[in-house]
Amino acid sequence: MSESAAARLGLGTLASVVDAAPDGVAIFDGDWTIRYVNPAGAELLQRSPSELVDRNIWIALPELGGTIFHSFLLHARSVDSSVAWQGYYAPADRWLSATAARDGDLLRLHFRPRTAHLTELPVDPAGNGDHLESDDDVDRDRLRFLAEVSEALISTLDTGETAAQLAELVVPRLCDWAFVAMLGDDGRPTGEEARAHRDPACHADLDAYLTGRVRGTGDDSPLMAALLTGEPVQLPTIDPELIDPSLGTEQVREAWRRLDTTSCTIVPLRARTGTIGALALMNTGDRPPHTEMLIATAVEVARRASLALDNARLYERQLKVAETLQHSLLTPPPQPEDLQIAVRYQPAASHMHVGGDWYDASGQPDGAILLVIGDVVGHNVDAAAAMGQIRSILRGIAYDRPEGPAGILARVDDVLTGLHVGTLATALVARLELPSDQAGAGQRILRWSSAGHLPPVLLRADGRVQLLRSTPERLLGSGTVSPRNDHEAVLDCDDTVLFYTDGIVEHGRSDIDQGIERLVHVLRQVHHLPLEELCDEVLTRIVPGRTDDDIALLAVRNRPQVRQSPAT
């Protein structure tokens, strides 16, 4: 018997072929340790091979837990035959097709991205020939689809993204094109519509029709009926007399003609607080009107979508309250004659958390300038409220008597403990002082103390950067007793000090040291810019968009006034 082709090629050649394969390949041992994953598979899981190989899958991919993909892998381990799955993998926002089979203690997995969603229920009305074999198959397929809908819709807490995801989910499964119309808190249409079409070539016509149609001509009467009654409304045929008045231009009329819409079903989106919108399922060409089973499926999809949309709205309201509270407490800084002070606050992305980052700058009775940067542990309205409480306590204590930053932080600790505030926060308190013996030289003394906060950065006028590190000390509110210490640095003319919170150095999943190195590198490049422009450029270069954490910056530049010598 001749040796196999695989044996003749050798393991090295086969490994290089699998490494270069466009589909994902992974192998797990009996303890769910990842023994191998090729680059394509790692990319689909949004990791590098080095982050996965020889690690337990549940540790390397904690977001996998609880997903349908997770259940599929557990099932594949429990049976002796090869099993297949196709569905939505929410952590990577991808539709996947996968097969898995046991080989002794090993589990082999092959998976690839899908370019389209699953086909219609239960037979493809468009004539693609996809039939399900039995009523049990139909029920299982329907339940799988609904589970995928739930998993997809809970992957975001942004209303717009959830609505867009809903439109994509029902096309082409339940219809040829769809749009989602949302109602505002006042019960009126917001004008925001998410849309999707099964044919990419029709996207331009869909946009032209939905954005160019004349509203209020009666074509939306079925939609309003669904919103008012809370019940689905089906139009087995589309009456031209209903649509024609809304086609105000020839461009819109041609777009509607090319869409070739023949029937539709409109399903209200009902949440705990009432009807919040509607889902319109539109059929084209020879596709028949929706059956009772398809309408029932659409109603269940709408129910699950409504819950997700309502949760997103509640979250956005809470986020808005926290953001408004945050901004109201971040007052403009003073602008002394011989200093420039610039501040920036950038909230977290809408689908993430607003935290308790804050800055403060104020004049002191002895002529010093107090500078504060801090971050309350936690996110949401509670964190923003706690931030306001700590900020007010700190500001009042600092103004009460002239003392060093370490003394201020110690007294703030006493107040937080005595009033049982129960909040942890990092904070850095600094004072810019002008000793009389250095007034003529234009220098200032920066005196600071840190309660577990990130080190400030001193940017010299010539572009040199110095990280003002100090021994880490306990957070505010920790309840422990240990001495706090002051540290000093001298600021020459045109030197700049930058205080910041962790959102800017941890952006892009960087660790803190890497993030600080990146910040220092950017500061070297922009040291020559005016202070306001410098702050903008730092944010633009490091954080070009919204982030998963809020960011506060406080920058101070020493600009002593040129004093004329007295005439002799």
Q: Do 183 and 282 reside in the same domain of the chain?
A: yes
Q: Residue 196 is part of which domain span? A: 135-319
CB 523 within 8 A of CB 537: no
**pLDDT band with cut points at 50, 70 and 90 for residue 134:** low
What are the C-alpha distances in Å from 279 to residues 117, 181, 325, 457, 560? 18, 7, 35, 53, 63
Domain match, 297 and 357 both: no
**Co-location of 174 and 90 in the same domain:** no
CA atoms within 13 A on the CB side of 18: 21
Q: Which of 52, 82, 113 is the last residue of a domain?
A: 113
229 band by pLDDT with thresholds 50, 70 and 90:
confident
How confident is the model at residue 456, as a pLDDT? 97
For residue 146 the two structure tokens come to 């609904």
Is 412 in contact with 390 (CB distance < 8 Å)?
A: yes
Distance CA 42, CA 35 (A): 13
Query: C-alpha distances in angstroms, 420 versus 103, 410, 425, 479?
Result: 59, 15, 14, 10
- 22 and 68 fall within a common domain: yes
Residue 170, both tokens: 């029902």
Q: What is the pLDDT of residue 493?
A: 93
Helix or strand or coil: residue 9?
helix
- Mean pLDDT, rounded, for 177-199: 83
Taking the whole predicted model, whether its pTM rises above 0.75 is answered as: no
Return the pLDDT at 128.
Answer: 43
Task: State the pLDDT at residue 283.
Answer: 95
pLDDT higher for 77 or 235?
Answer: 235
In a domain, 125, yes or no: no
**CB half-sphere exposure, 316, CA atoms < 13 A:** 16
Q: Is 145 part of any domain?
A: yes
DSSP, res 456: P
Q: Can you give the pLDDT at residue 565? A: 44
What was the pLDDT predicted at 225?
86
Q: What is the DSSP string of 125-191?
A: TTTT----SSHHHHHHHHHHHHHHHHHHHTT---HHHHHHHHHHHHTTTT-SEEEEEEE-TTSSEEE
In this structure, the answer to whether residues 292 and 341 fall within a common structural domain is no
* Pair 263, 170 in one domain: yes
Compute how many other C-beta atoms are within 10 angstroms of the C-beta atom of residue 523.
Answer: 21
pLDDT in tens, 451-479: 999 999 999 999 999 999 998 899 998 87
Is the pLDDT score of 96 beyond 90?
no
Query: If pLDDT is split at 50, 70 and 90, which confidence band does 445 have?
Result: very high
**Tens digits of residue pLDDT in 476-518:** 988 777 889 999 999 999 999 999 999 899 876 668 899 999 9
* CA pair distance 291, 287, nearest whole angstrom: 11
- CATH number for the domain spanning 451: value is 3.60.40.10
